[in-house]
């Protein structure tokens, strides 16, 4: 199992999409750092809010990378090939899941650290580092950790959908349809169901502030987090069951 997991970790890192998206995000961070330096005097004390504001990008990337981790293998026929080496389907699918979730978490944490470094340079060179203390560091780390974990959970959702549909595009299409169409219809037609929507629960976990005004009827950030984990588990267990039962040719 360790050898299989190590192999899947290497495969995930070697994917062109992973490298491309990581590079694009790094370039985006550097460009943003230059813009901030040129246009304003940045106060580093606001960094936790920056992490909250940019979390949507990392969550979206997590969803895409999770979906491609299995969708691309179906598209290229790699699943059939690897099953000749590792015929135990349960071990294979869970190794792929673990590799995708771990790598997405690491990428998310590293990118947030790079963002903090760039903005820290901006603040030190042209801005303010007032208020940067142990409390600030603890808050920043907590936000980064929550965003990293949510990125992995979104990767799990993308993986589960792509595995069930045997295609990355299925996960992206379902995600777009749900987030843009279904959730907006629920907000307009059944506002009492808002507490079950993915977006609101995600926002509650990211902000960790039940008094922010998100209409979730007293739900705590911890409860919202467990709800998202439950969604991921259902999708992954379903995807694993389908993978074990269906023909892969």
Q: Summarize pLDDT for 46-56 with one digit per residue, the tens.
A: 999 999 999 99
Q: Looking at residues 211-216, what average pLDDT do you find?
A: 71
Rounded to whole angstroms, the Cα distance separating 165 from 246 reads: 12
Rounded to whole angstroms, the Cα distance separating 222 from 219 reads: 8
Residue 2 — pLDDT band, cuts 50, 70, 90?
confident
Q: What is the pLDDT of residues 56-68, one digit of tens each?
A: 999 999 999 999 9
Q: Looking at residues 191-211, what average pLDDT do you find?
A: 90
Q: What is the pLDDT of residues 71-93, one digit of tens each?
A: 877 777 777 777 777 677 778 88
Query: For position 247, what pLDDT does the model report?
Result: 60
What rounded mean pLDDT belongs to the chain?
A: 90
Rounded to whole angstroms, the Cα distance separating 212 from 18 reads: 34
Residue 103 has pLDDT above 70, yes or no: yes
Residue 4 has pLDDT above 80, yes or no: no
Instruction: Please state the pTM of the whole predicted model.
Output: 0.92
Number of domains the chain contains: 1
Residues counted in the chain: 249
Q: What is the pLDDT of residues 154-177, one digit of tens each?
A: 999 999 999 988 888 888 999 999
DSSP-derived secondary structure for the chain:
-HHHHHHHHHHHHH-HHHHHHHHHHHHHHHHHHHHHHHH--EEGGGHHHHHHHHHHHHHHHHHHHHHHHHHHHHHHTHHHHHHTT---HHHHHHHHHHHHHHHHHHHHHHHHHHHHHHHHHHHHHSEE-TT-SHHHHHHHHHHHHHHHHHHHHHHHHHHHHHHHHTSHHHHHHHHHIIIIIIHHHHHHH-GGGGGG-HHHHHHHHHHT-TTS---STT--HHHHHHHHHHHHHHHHHHHHHHHHHS---
Query: For position 230, what pLDDT does the model report?
Result: 97
Query: For position 92, what pLDDT does the model report?
Result: 84
Domain carrying residue 199:
2-245
Residue 138 — pLDDT band, cuts 50, 70, 90?
very high
Instruction: Name the one residue in this structure whose structure tokens are 């890192």.
Output: 13
Rounded to whole angstroms, the Cα distance separating 13 from 221 reads: 32
Q: Looking at residues 124-151, what average pLDDT do you find?
A: 95
Q: Among 91, 90, 73, 78, which residue's Cα sits nearest to residue 163?
A: 73
Query: For position 249, what pLDDT does the model report?
Result: 55
Query: For position 216, what pLDDT does the model report?
Result: 73
Angle at which helices 47-76 and 168-176 cross, to 10°: 140
Task: Write the Ramachandran bin of 172: left for phi over 0, alpha for psi from -120 to 50, otherwise beta.
Answer: alpha
Query: For position 248, what pLDDT does the model report?
Result: 60
Cβ atoms 171, 63 nearer than 8 A: yes
Residue 28 — pLDDT band, cuts 50, 70, 90?
very high
């Amino acid at each position: 199992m360790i050898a299989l997991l190590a192999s899947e970790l290497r495969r995930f890192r070697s994917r062109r999409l992973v490298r491309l998206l990581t590079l694009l995000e790094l370039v985006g961070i550097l460009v943003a750092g230059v813009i901030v330096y040129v246009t304003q005097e940045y106060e580093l004390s606001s960094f936790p809010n920056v992490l909250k504001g940019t979390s949507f990008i990392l969550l979206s990337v997590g969803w895409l990378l999770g979906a491609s981790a299995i969708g691309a293998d179906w598209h290229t026929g790699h699943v059939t090939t690897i099953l000749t080496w590792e015929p135990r389907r349960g071990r294979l699918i869970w190794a792929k899941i673990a590799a995708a979730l771990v790598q997405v978490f690491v990428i998310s944490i590293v990118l947030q650290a790079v963002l903090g470094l760039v903005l820290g340079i901006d603040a030190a060179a042209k801005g303010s580092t007032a208020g940067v203390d142990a409390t600030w560091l603890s808050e920043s780390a907590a936000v980064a950790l929550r965003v990293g974990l949510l990125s992995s959970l979104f990767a799990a959702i993308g993986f589960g959908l792509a595995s069930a549909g045997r295609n990355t595009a299925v996960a992206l299409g379902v995600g777009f349809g749900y987030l843009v169409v279904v959730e907006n219809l629920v907000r307009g037609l059944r506002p009492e169901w808002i507490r079950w929507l993915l977006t609101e629960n995600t926002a509650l976990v990211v902000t960790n502030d039940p008094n922010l005004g998100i209409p979730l009827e007293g739900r705590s950030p911890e409860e919202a987090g467990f709800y998202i984990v439950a969604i991921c588990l259902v999708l992954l267990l379903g995807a694993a069951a389908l993978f074990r039962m269906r023909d892969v040719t």
